[in-house]
Amino acid sequence: MSKNAIVSFAGNKHIHTEITLTGSKSECNRALIISALSKGAVAVANMSIAADTVTLARILKQVSTHNPHQQTVDVGPAGTAMRFLTAFLSALPGDFRLTGTERMKQRPIGILSEALKTIGANISYLGEEGYPPLHINGPLNQSADTVKIKGDISSQYISALLMVAPRLPEGLTLEIEGELTSVPYVKMTLDMLTEAGISHEWSAQQISIKPQSFKATTLTVEPDWSAASYWYSIAALASESAIELPYLKEKSLQGDSRIREIMTAFGLHTSNTANGIALSKIPAAFTDEVLDLKDCPDLAQTVIVCAAAMKKNLAFTGLETLKIKETDRIKALQNELAKIGVTLTEDHLVYTLNCDGLHFPERVTFATYEDHRMAMAFAPLSLLINEVVLEEMDVVEKSYPDFWKDLQTAGFTVITA
């Protein structure tokens, strides 16, 4: 069983530090799939050390040599790997059983697997219809070159289809139905494919990729803006802060780079340095506008917890996909924010904080629900609470394995219990 972390910060709450973040999990997972599809023509530099990425790299190595017998491919808790591999294995010769943790078996995959089946993939459900585990017998015998898919579902379904498209005999056209959620992640996928020599056409609600070959190149992974978001929260909650984050780019492929814009209202200025970015305090300038996070849902927990700690009754939209993540993140936030007297209520897809009852006990234990982002979103509250206990501290391995070590670098005390 994973141990708990007891986090505290003694002294004047001044944080002056430099933190070098691991490579982006989102970029690296895409780069690994593209590299495998290119049969080695595309190399990957600055690999992420996130557990999800390590898992995906191991699996891709495992399936790279054709095995005439069925292979069991276990992604564990890695949701991105489950989605990307569903499409990847469908295009690969072999007989695969794709599975994961018990929680993974509760996370829907039907929209993607049914889309693949409409173009000729041989996929069946080994348990509940529409959910893992899957039986995949590849390669698919392409029967159509166009597939319709809803735009308001996980962008990872769309990215999974786009990445395998150039390897399909007839290529693929996606017809997006309705508004496209998480546009930056789809753009990230297309930009990385372009860098690897794959052209596309995007007109209105259609994205088309013809069958074509990858060019020899190296995809260099930028540090993780999702990981950077926790340092924005720390900087906002500290009484004084000067935090440098090397190698992050002003113009990033990652949708979560929007954190620099969002946190301006929270009293943070982001400046570009010769080596990355630096965070510093400015006067906060909150407005009554509803904050739409549909393009960056992975920032939601960080931003909502930080707003609650600053006693700001903000409202949010674009959180629909949070209910099918590692946990039901809406319910998890509601449960844990209640421990400091804050409520998060839903009204027609608008989620509103009420911080009127905000209080900071001497010690609070927060559950993490096997969700890395819950642990890292609540850890900054140790700047306001004498002792914050985060259950199952190892959950951070999923995306930011050095999180506890980096907290200590910045002056926090982290005790394992």
Which residues are catalytic, by number? 298
| 3-class DSSP string for 277-340 | EEEEECCCCCCCCCEECCCCHHHHHHHHHHHHHCCCCCEEECCHHHHHCCCCHHHHHHHHHHHH
Q: Which residues are CB-neighbours of 332 under 8 A, at least 6 positions away? A: 367, 369, 371, 374
Rounded CA separation 243/321 (Å): 31
Using DSSP's 3-state secondary structure scheme, residue 126 falls into coil
Counting Cβ atoms within 10 Å, is residue 345 exposed (0-12), middle (13-18) or buried (19+)? exposed
Q: Are 355 and 304 in contact (CB under 8 A)?
A: no
Max CA-CA distance within the chain? 66
Rounded CA separation 106/149 (Å): 21
Q: Are 43 and 217 in contact (CB under 8 A)?
A: yes
Q: List the alpha helices (DSSP H) in 98-182.
A: 110-118, 155-164
Q: How far apart are the first and last CA of the chain?
A: 12
Kindly state the helix (H) or strand (E) to which residue 187 belongs, with its residue range: helix 183-195
Can you tell me which residue has the tokens 């991105």? 80
Rounded CA separation 208/310 (Å): 45
Identify any residues that bridge with 292 across adjacent strands, giving them in sequence order. Answer: 317
* Residue 162 token pair: 């786009």
Rounded CA separation 269/266 (Å): 9
Q: Are 374 and 329 in contact (CB under 8 A)?
A: yes
Torsion-angle region of 76 (φ positive above 0: left; ψ -120 to 50: alpha; else: beta): left
Counting Cβ atoms within 10 Å, is residue 13 exposed (0-12), middle (13-18) or buried (19+)? middle
